[in-house]
Structure 1
Amino acid sequence: MAKFDSSPGKAESPDPAQPNNPGKNAATSAGNRKRAGLIAGAGIVAVAAAVLVPLALGNPTPAPPAASSPATSAPALAPAEVGPPVTYYAQPGPPAGSPLEKVEPLKVDVASDLVGTSLNKGMAGISLEATDLADPDLSSDNASMVKLLKEIDQPVLRFGGNAVDRRFFWTSSGEAVPADYKGDKTHPVKAVGPADLVRLKTLLDAGDARVSLTVDLGHYNPARAADMAKNASAILGDRLLSITVGNEPNGFVFNDVKSGSGYSLEQYIRELKDYANAIYAVAPNVPISGPGAYDQKWWQPFVDADLPQKKILTFHHYPLSNCDGSLPQDSPTLANAMSRTMHDRGVNYQQAALAVGRAAGLETWIPETGISACPGSNETSRTHASALWAADYALTAAQLGITRIGFHSSLLTCKGGPPLSAICSAGAYPFGNGQMSGRASFFGISMVAELEAGKFMKVNSTGGGPTFSYALQNADGSTSVVIINENDPEKAAQTSVTLNLPGKPVTGTMTQLSGPSYAAEDQTVIDGAKTEPTPLAKRATVPGFAFKSQTQQFKLTAGTVTVLNFKY
């Protein structure tokens, strides 16, 4: 599972639902083991209009008789029957000239029963390369970066990636970088020290974010890793969630980290214990997360390893990473990305990891993911489809029980930088000017991140084509319903939705992510703008909202992520 680093990298992600896919096909070409590419864009905006009309809160009051008299005059309107004018949400329709293929009506039944899992604040975050810790733009002085963190509401920034075992050198004493560390113009070797963590802390405080770090295992040195952990714990405090030892150690034998060395799972466990013991001696309260592997064989040995500190099970997943087309169902195409099969296979892979973690009583994270690990651009790069995928993937993971997820990204430029990155910098390639912005997938992440923390409710959905529905019981007793409509926005008519709720709502509001086509680049918007969802208290009313009715009926445009909130 690869990084959006264009350096040689990993083999593709394994998928338990895929035959002939044990460690993602050891026979796959070396090109398929490379990491790479993130995101960019350009485009147009679909605007959600608002319509102001009086809201009828109950059954309409009968009209007065034609010949009214004092004895037969119409009854006065009760306050509970007619409310003030409200703004109904007006979503964008299909693009002009669309064939408007009919979509089977969608029926969503939300039960009061709970699934047993929760969506917590900070579940969806951003993954970056370890060398990005040296970037001065990761500071509270960078208003654009602070804004992005706030738009994904208390996220975790994870630092790891291919860089950590190749080009990342920690020093607390200002040592020169050893000569055997190799980089290139776009991916230079970087030394990182305590001052970088102090600067990072200002960003975390300003953006209300937390962090997970990775230490270098490619250059075996437990003492150096422990020194980094000691400094990180002292400087970052409770904003430091975990430390991982190495990045995707299962891939070391396939790339330039340990190629030709015969690096084994058994050797990894021995080295992991050395690192964990050294870290525990100086930072005993910092959990070790790992193995961060995309090969299932490595998960259980990590769980079983006798480490003195708390452990967190982590795995990486890039579902569409067959880069040479030898496995068409794994190729990064729009058709694959928007298929129900893609969704179901993601469920299967996440469940496999959760089974291992739950049996040991461990929290399970996906600190690094993306729609594809293939280098360079592909059909899914920078597209509106990646926003729909990101929102569904994160909600699927959370509903199953994954508690943290990081979408791998880059601080390089929007133009010329990794095309699958969720964020990117303005300015000239490769390093830009530090003015960061979100791409399509970032807005999909934001839709999930801005949900209220809540408990997942049981949902039964039928019809609707490729649509996926989720519901949350919020702390204030309200219900949030998320409907991800992956029907083709260029072709599909609006989907008629019948939603059955567990109570009788007195208000119903709506926010929506939309875009004109699967392939549209830089045209994904939320409520008509490139920003986070409208605050809950200011959201428009669901079209056709029926006061105190458990059954709500409305239509949804294709290619959208819609969040509905109902208060009772």
Structure 2
Amino acid sequence: MPSHEGPPEHTPGHTPNDSSPDGHPNGTATRQKRLRPAVVISVLAVLAVLASLMLFLRPTTSGDAAASPAPSASATPAPSSAKAVPSPTKDPFYKQLGPPAGSPLEPVAPQQVNVSADPVGTTLNKSTAGLSLEATDLGDPALTADNASMVALLKQMDQPFLRFGGRAVDRRFFWTSSGESLPETYRGDKAHVPRAVGPADLARVAALLKAADAKVTITVDLGHYDPARAADLVKHATEIFGDRLLSVTVGNEPNGYAADGVRPPSYNVADYLKELQAYAAAIYAVAPDLPISGPGTYDETWWQPFIDVKLPQRKILTFHYYALFSCDGSTPTSSPVMGNLMNANMHQRNIEYLNEALRAGNAAGIETWLPETGASTCPGSNEITKTHASALWAADYSLNAAQLGIAKLAFHSSLLTCAGGPPMSAICNGGPYLKPDGELSARANFFGIAMVSQLEGGKFLKTISTGGGLATSYALQNADGSTTVVLVNENDPEKAAQTAVTLDLPGKARTGTMSQLTGPSYASQDGTAIDGDKSGPVPLADRATVEGFKPGSATQTFKLTAGTVTVLNYTY
């Protein structure tokens, strides 16, 4: 998504320019709540449930065993006949929204999803997903524990992390622990104001992190070479943030310094590594246990030199990546248009690029993070900004990255106003352009991130999925033995009929509940909701039962509306 500034750069990881006003001030339009799923239990439904329950309680025959094969030894065991299976009639059934009235309802091939008991080898942890902000935002008074709207948004992401960096850190961010005035050489504009940040600002942000149960990673200024000042910032950050501080990065996208005028045209990776070592030594003297993450570039040729350089502290490989970067259309398949975002090739091309970074990090035995990312690097509005399609993409992208092995990823965002601010930001501020009122709200892509962030976390399980049109599937084995299945249905909600899904689980399910992200169309800019509301998912314990749930069966069948992200939880 767009960052706050920077010349267009036709490369997958470039930090984008969003200094141009959006031009669509309706970003703060009042969001109306939808009704939550209703309890729909007709006489026929009750009879069907009783019939399925009677079938479950009868003795198992060889025919039944053939229809529902026993799980492998590593799977969660099926319930014994001595246990009473709870009747789903005690809980409401989840009632999905159907396609919009008058939709053509193009048929979608049935989807078959087989969930194995075998792990992929990667895990989804809390604090995997987060938001990336500019370093100058550390000085923004909106980031306070007293700001209920900001606390609520972070809680909807359930233990996220905030990354402070962006282009501002090397150009407009001045750290001082002694109250120095902002140097006159630090310049910006009305939308990108230079800021001096001090210990009081860190303390305010630390209180927010505690209130929202969030973590943080910071970036120090390399544009103005000053290892001692950077170490002073890290010293105070370590003392104030404590164990909520995850890492420090030296500079933001140093591979672009020469082109952007931050450093002389001759500045190269060798210069960066020499300066990095000086910074690392100064930081190690005050915070020896804090990892250095880097190089934080959009040029993969800088990854291996960072891995190979000798530093006294532990390293984390970081890189930046924006999927659709061709702002002028010179690379048609990478232009920010709906046909590229909602495309089967998008999922695969993300896999290929993320795997390049993972191969380098895994070979070195270090974690790989993606602390600045988004769907598009292009400034201003285009046909994918602020849309429900971006929410579907964000959910699939987050799960795809985590399943591959990316330990953390953060979507670049802004505290500027919804009116006129960066349109691909996941959050934005209320009030007229450049006059924020401190009331933070979420855009559509935020809900896609929140849908993933609210997952319990666990080991990814191998899945095989066929059919379903434009759809992907993920599965997790949770710590309590339950299974979570996430089905991302990116079929066009204005055109596609519901998809008939057959799901084979690694055990016989006792209960099955559901939560769902929905939207009326790809282009809808204010229609994305989770469980009918503009907030995070309904708590797991309160979720409704999947319609058509079959107690005691390893095979579940149901239909899914197009343009949805569905989270299913099964106990055994």
- TM-score calculated relative to the size of structure 2: 0.90
Which residue of 395, 402, 407 corresponds with 2:406? Answer: 402
- For the residues of structure 2 that align with 1:311 and 1:531, how far apart are their CA atoms? 36
- Deviation of residue 85 (structure 1)? 3.2
Report the secondary structure of 2:389's partner residue.
helix
Q: 1:434 maps to which residue?
A: 438
Contact 1:167 1:183 in 2 (8 A): yes
Matched, 1:350 2:345: no
How many residues align? The count is 535
Question: What letter corresponds to residue 54 of structure 2 in structure 1?
Answer: N
Counterpart position of 2:327:
323
Residue 286 of structure 1 and its aligned partner are, at CA, apart by 1.0
Indicate which of 9, 12, 15 corresponds to 1:11: 9
Per the alignment, residue 76 of structure 2 pairs with: none
Kept in 1, the 8 Å contact 2:517–2:565? The answer is yes
Q: CA deviation at 1:288?
A: 0.4
Q: What residue number does 1:67 align with?
A: none
Is the alpha carbon distance of 1:45 and 1:486 closer, same or farther for their aligned partners in structure 2, counting shifts above 3 Å?
A: farther
Q: Which letter maps to 1:58?
A: L
Report the alpha carbon displacement of residue 84 of structure 1 after superposing the two structures with TM. Answer: 4.3
- Counterpart selection for 1:50 from 31, 34, 38: 38
Structure 1 residues 36, 509: CA separation in 2 closer, same or farther (over 3 Å shift)?
A: farther
* Aligned AA (2:326): N
Superimposed CA distance per residue, residues 161-219 of structure 1 (whole angstroms, 9 cap, x where no aligned partner): 11111100001111112221111111111000111001111000000001000001111
* Among candidates 91, 95, 98, match of residue 100 of structure 2: 95
**Matching residue within 111, 118, 128 for 1:113:** 118
CA distance, structure 2, for counterparts of residue 3 and residue 245 of structure 1: 21
1:391 aligned residue: 395
1:423 to 407, 421, 427: 427
Matched, 1:59 2:47: no
Q: Give the SS at the match of 2:371.
A: strand
| Deviation by residue 1:33-88 (Cα, 9 ceiling, x = unmatched) | 645678936466654532343443523699xxxxxxxxxxxxxxx96585643311
Question: Counterpart of 2:117 in 1: which secondary structure?
Answer: strand
Distance 1:418 1:33 in 2: 10
* Cα 1:362–1:355 shift into 2, 3 Å: same
In structure 2, C-alpha distance between the alignment counterparts of 1:280 and 1:270, rounded to whole Å: 16
Report % sequence identity: 60
**In 1, distance between residues paired with 2:288 and 2:85?**
59
Partner in structure 1 of residue 69 of structure 2: none
- Structure ranking higher in helix proportion: 2
Q: Check conservation: 1:58, 1:81, Cα contact below 8 A.
A: no
**AA partner of residue 53 (structure 2):** G
Q: Helix, strand or coil: the match of 2:190?
A: coil
Amino acid at match of 2:399: L
Name the counterpart of 2:71: none
CA distance in 1 between partners of 2:455 and 2:475 (Å):
11
Matches of 1:36 and 1:114 in 2, distance apart? Answer: 44
Residues 129-185 of structure 1 show CA distances to partners (whole Å, capped at 9, x for unaligned) of: 000000111111111111111100111100001111110000111111222111111
SS in 2 for 1:318: strand
The amino acid that maps onto 2:237 is A
Per the TM alignment, residue 8 of structure 1 is displaced from its structure 2 partner at its CA by 2.3
- Equivalence for 1:288: 292
Is residue 2:207 matched to residue 1:185? Answer: no
Structure 1 segments of 4+ aligned residues over 6 angstroms from their partners? none
Deviation at 1:338, TM superposition (A): 0.8
Q: Deviations over 1:371-422 (max 9, x none)?
A: 0010111111100011001101100010001111100100111111110000
RMSD: 1.9
CA–CA separation in structure 1 for the residues paired with 2:185 and 2:56: 82
Q: Which aligned pairs between 1:301-320 and structure 2 lie closer than 5 A?
A: 301-320=305-324
Task: Determine the C-alpha separation between the residues in 2 that align with 1:368 and 1:533.
Answer: 25
Shift of 1:523: 1.2
Aligned-partner residue type, residue 491 of structure 1: K
C-alpha separation in 2, matches of 1:48 and 1:147:
20
* Alpha-carbon separation, structure 2, partners of 1:83 and 1:490: 32
Describe the shift of the 1:298–1:471 C-alpha distance in structure 2 as closer, same or farther (beyond 3 A). same
**Distance in 1, Cα, partners of 2:450 & 2:86:** 36
Q: Is the 8 A contact 2:316 2:367 kept in 1?
A: yes
Matches within 5 A, 1:13-162: 13-14=11-12, 34=17, 40=27, 42=29, 47-53=35-41, 54=46, 55-56=49-50, 58-59=53-54, 80=85, 84-162=89-167
For 1:51, give the aligned amino acid: V
1: CA distance, partners of 2:157 / 2:510: 29
CA deviation profile, 1:113-139 (whole Å, cap 9, x unmatched):
000000000101100000000011111
